Amino acid sequence: MTNPFCRLPKPIIKMINRRKFIHAASVAGTSFVLAPQIGKAAGFFRGSPNDKVVIGMMGTHSRGLYLAQNFAKLPNAEIGYVCDVDADVVASTVADIYKRTGKKPEGITDIRKLLEKKDIDAIVIAAPDHWHAPATIMACQAGKHVYVEKPCSHNPHEGELAVTASKKYSRLVQMGSQRRSFNNVQGMVKELHDGVIGRTYYAKGWYSNHRASIGIGKEVAVPANLDYELWQGPAPRMPYKDNLIHYNWHWFWNWGTGEALNNGTHELDVIRWGLDVDFPNKVVSTGGRFHFKDDWQTPDTQNILYNFPNDTAAEWEGRSCNGYNTEGLARGVIFYGDKGTVFYQGGNGYTVYDGDNKFLKEVKDKTVVDATNKVSPTEALDGLHMKNFVDSVRGMAQLNCPIETGFKSTLLPQLGNISYRVDRLLHIDPTNGHILNDPEAMQLWSRTYQPGWEIKV
């Protein structure tokens, strides 16, 4: 397959005039207050301020369909194109969006063809992890803004390249860390930084589920509706097996990144935000595939420990196959300070205790969070993050989770996976996140690509 970066159109750029942004939004019956920093130009938009942002969706099975449905709800967005390597998924998504909006998007199977469309303003990427950074870079080169699901990259080097591409091609890239747009989480982080529990020096996050075995896959013929060659894209070629698509690729290193990035990215993003840190100086991880003996390669049980240069520490625990709750919840974060504790329940609420564990206050809303929901545990809240992206493309807001922020938060679980795979403590350069004095570990900083699919910025 030829290099996917050689046929992309150059961006057509038009500056739009600013308009006053309305700070209040209502999503699924829950009220939020937006607080974007508006001042510097947020981006470029081909249309007038009243025009809709035309979106091309990449990957619309499950999570991607959910994103398409929710972007379609926004008054200033339009799903113009649907792209998936599974022709049946394209057809069903097109029909779904047409039924909801009365406007039929065009269906495409090849992302390169999608990026040639000149009327697209933004690409939403919900393909498997090994496609996240390559598609982001391709979209930036084609002059499109990007909303990319977490993790923003399959490996750290790709994350660095995505940051470079966003800057080089002057494109907005938002990572899907939705909690960055939850108003009460924003308020919690501000309280932490303002000293509500004194100096916050330690945080613990967790995620648990009760996933079944994926079994031992058999090599079978690729279904007629699936372009498996294009599905693999940048990844080295491996035979098609009947237990891989559409979800179990998460647990194979060639395409996925394990539970640490599939879900842990969310908790670790909140932890990094609350501790007010960028890169760690030490990382160590333990765990394994303990629950079943099958094709699953990544750990189903994992602990990752971090030290940061500002004299703070953190940990994340993942249990993919044992759903017993911690602190009564399947996921959450606790911040510990020298004057108290903050318990973040994983949605849009938190509780504050003093140093003697005395209840001080609770901040909450009525939204229910289902941590076992594989499509979106915070479904009723996510629309605000999508709205922030669309408003930013229109020049009326700034991104709540730009790629620079997303890269740093994605790097934390990636470093945990590298430590797990080399089975030792990693010493990290706190200025850029790179691994120090460990050539074997740094080999996992990047990956091998299928010839013709090498990433270039």
Contact between residue 219 and residue 239 where contact means Cβ atoms under 8 Å apart: yes
**Rounded to whole angstroms, how far apart are CA atoms 416 and 289?**
15
Q: 270-312, pLDDT tens digit by residue?
A: 999 999 999 999 999 999 999 999 999 999 999 999 999 999 9
Q: What is the pLDDT of residue 365?
A: 83
- What pLDDT, on a 0 to 100 scale, did the predictor assign at position 198? 98
For the chain, 457 residues long, give each residue's pLDDT as a single digit of tens: 444 433 344 333 333 233 333 233 333 333 333 333 333 334 466 665 568 999 999 999 999 999 999 999 999 999 999 999 999 999 999 999 999 999 999 999 999 999 999 999 999 999 999 999 999 999 999 999 999 999 999 999 999 999 999 999 999 999 999 999 999 999 999 999 999 999 999 999 999 999 999 999 999 999 999 999 999 999 999 999 999 999 999 999 999 999 999 999 999 999 999 999 999 999 999 999 999 999 999 999 999 999 999 999 999 999 999 999 999 999 999 999 999 999 999 999 999 999 999 999 999 887 665 655 555 556 668 899 999 999 999 999 999 999 999 999 999 999 999 999 999 999 999 999 999 999 999 999 999 999 999 999 9
Q: Identify the burial level of 26 via C-beta atoms within 10 angstroms of its C-beta, where 0-12 means exposed, 13-18 middle and 19 or more buried.
A: exposed
Residue 275 contacts residue 151 (beta carbons within 8 Å): no
User: Do the domains 183-216+228-378+404-445 and 42-181+384-403 match in fold?
Assistant: no
pTM: 0.89
- Which pLDDT value is given to residue 20? 30
Q: Is 356 left (phi over 0), alpha (psi -120 to 50) or beta?
A: alpha
Nearest by Cα to 4 from 450, 407, 448, 446: 450
Instruction: Reduce the secondary structure of the chain to three states and give it as a string.
Output: CCCCCCCCCCCCCCCCCCCCCCCEEEECCEEEECCCCCCCCCCCCCCCCCCCEEEEEECCCCHHHHHHHHHHHCCCEEEEEEECCEHHHHHHHHHHHHHHHCCCCEEECCHHHHHCCCCCCEEEECCCHHHHHHHHHHHHHCCCEEEECCCCCCCHHHHHHHHHHHHHCCCCEEECCHHHHCHHHHHHHHHHHCCECECEEEEEEEEECECCCCCCCCECCCCCCECHHHHHCCCCCCCCECCCCCCHHHHCCCCCCHHHHHCHHHHHHHHHHHHCCCCCCEEEEEEECCCCCCCCCCCCEEEEEEEECCCEEEEEEEECECCCCECCECEEEEEEECCEEEEECCCCCEEEEECCCCEEEEECCCCCCCCCCCCCCCCCCCHHHHHHHHHHHCCCCCCCCEHHHHHHHHHHHHHHHHHHHHCCCEEECCCCCCECCCHHHHHHHCCCCCCCCCCCC
d(CA 109, CA 308): 44
Query: Can you name the CATH fold of 183-216+228-378+404-445?
Result: Dihydrodipicolinate Reductase; domain 2 (3.30.360)
Write the pLDDT tens digit of every residue in 58-103. 999 999 999 999 999 999 999 999 999 999 999 999 999 999 999 9
What ranges do the domains of the chain cover? Answer: 42-181+384-403, 183-216+228-378+404-445
**Per-residue model confidence (pLDDT) at position 381:** 84
| Distance of alpha carbon 344 from the chain centroid | 19
| Helix axes of 383-393 and 63-73: crossing angle, nearest 10 degrees | 60
C-alpha to C-alpha distance for 262 and 387, rounded to whole angstroms: 23
pLDDT for the residue numbered 371: 57
Task: Return the pLDDT at 370.
Answer: 61
**Fold entry, domain 42-181+384-403:** Rossmann fold (3.40.50)
Nearest-angstrom CA–CA distance, 235 and 249: 12
What number of other Cβ atoms are within 10 A of residue 8's Cβ?
18
Six-digit token pair at 298? 């990544």
HSE-up of residue 453 (Cα within 13 Å, Cβ side):
21
